[in-house]
Amino acid sequence: MWTFDTDDVKGADLLLGPADDNWLSNLEIWHPRLIAVLVMCGLGILAIWKWGLGILVAGAIALTPAVLVSSMDTGNLAAMDRLFADPTELSQSDQEMVRDVFENIKTHAPRAPFGAYTLEFRKADKIGPNAFALPGGTVVVTDALVEKFSDPDIIAGVLGHELAHVSERHSLRQLYRSMSIYVLVALMAGDVGPILEDVLLEGSALASLAYSREHEASADIIGVKTSHAAGYDAAALAEFFETLSGEHGDGGSEWRSTHPSNSDRITTIKKLAAEQ
């Protein structure tokens, strides 16, 4: 048994006659056309990444049944309660105040795409003064948020912003975007079975997602409009961000990591609020 190996494929063919599998030796010759094909493939993949992904994500969202989205809310809330949240210790009057603002904001916000907006209170000191929305429309407000910001205008601004994340389906978009990479890797590894269960129903999946800057900006715009339409001072959202970004303690750090705040954002909110 011996092997013969050479880079000089043309020379070898002249010497030995064309190999049986001619197409193979043809491939080994460095064709300019091959480079062109490779470049085209690369560009194609880039194009799919840039435009196709958005289309895929929109398609996946349209195909996602509302009942699945609701169970994501239930699953995430249960995971939160297991991991770091306790029942609220807010006074009845504090809860009442937030509930009133919520009802008011809810009627002026864009429609909830997967059911209804619902409000949950939790004592979750680990995440400081915080509020976040689950994809199905469940909005969680922490005790620390209400203790720190008793101004209904600020609560309205924060809730308007969170409901906008729901109506624009931001967390589902982020989830499907990050999932598409996961699915691609899993496809190559040959195991796609438990992905949906693991990713969609496992509480940690959503918690680790941060909204993109683009999503934050769009939630700010819609939030400002909603809170103005509901009769609140829409500039209060800027005040909220100013207070949080002026702090260096634990309070608000979690909010800052999922809701990148900067002076540009505060300026934009003030400008938007003034235009209402």
The CB-of-182 to Zn ion minimum distance in angstroms stands at 23
Pick 75 or 260: Cβ nearer Zn ion: 260
Amino acid letter, residue 236: A
The CB-of-34 to Zn ion minimum distance in angstroms stands at 48
What kind and span of H or E run contains 122?
strand 118-123
136 closest CA partner among 212, 55, 217, 77: 77
Beta-bridge partner residues of 88: none
Local structure of residue 115 (DSSP, 8 states):
S
The CB-of-80 to Zn ion minimum distance in angstroms stands at 17
The CB-of-259 to Zn ion minimum distance in angstroms stands at 4
Which residue stretch of 4-12, 24-32, 237-245, 254-262 sits at the interface with Zn ion (rule: CB under 5 A)? 254-262
- Whole-Å CA distances, 216 to 130, 232, 243: 15, 20, 18
Residues 181-220 that bind Zn ion (CB under 5 A): 219
The CB-of-56 to Zn ion minimum distance in angstroms stands at 24
The answer to the question of residue 228 lying near Zn ion (CB under 5 A) is no
Q: Are the CB atoms for 113 and 166 separated by under 8 Å?
A: yes
Token pair in block for residue 28: 């080994």
Pick 28 or 242: Cβ nearer Zn ion: 242
Pick 173 or 259: Cβ nearer Zn ion: 259
Which residue stretch of 51-59, 174-182, 222-230, 252-260 sits at the interface with Zn ion (rule: CB under 5 A)? 252-260
SS3 content of the chain, % helix, strand, coil (to 5): 65, 5, 25
Pick 133 or 199: Cβ nearer Zn ion: 133
Choosing from 173, 225, 228, 259, the residue that interacts with Zn ion (CB under 5 A) is: 259
What kind and span of H or E run contains 165?
helix 152-167
Pick 228 or 259: Cβ nearer Zn ion: 259
The CB-of-162 to Zn ion minimum distance in angstroms stands at 7
Beta strands across the sheet bearing 118-123: 86-87, 118-123, 138-142, 131-133
Token pair in block for residue 126: 């680990």
By beta carbon distance, the residue nearest Zn ion is 259
Pick 160 or 203: Cβ nearer Zn ion: 160
Q: Are the CB atoms for 140 and 131 separated by under 8 Å?
A: yes
Pick 153 or 162: Cβ nearer Zn ion: 162
The CB-of-49 to Zn ion minimum distance in angstroms stands at 25
Beta-bridge partner residues of 86: 123
Q: Summarize as ranges the residues that interact with Zn ion (CB under 5 A).
A: 219, 259
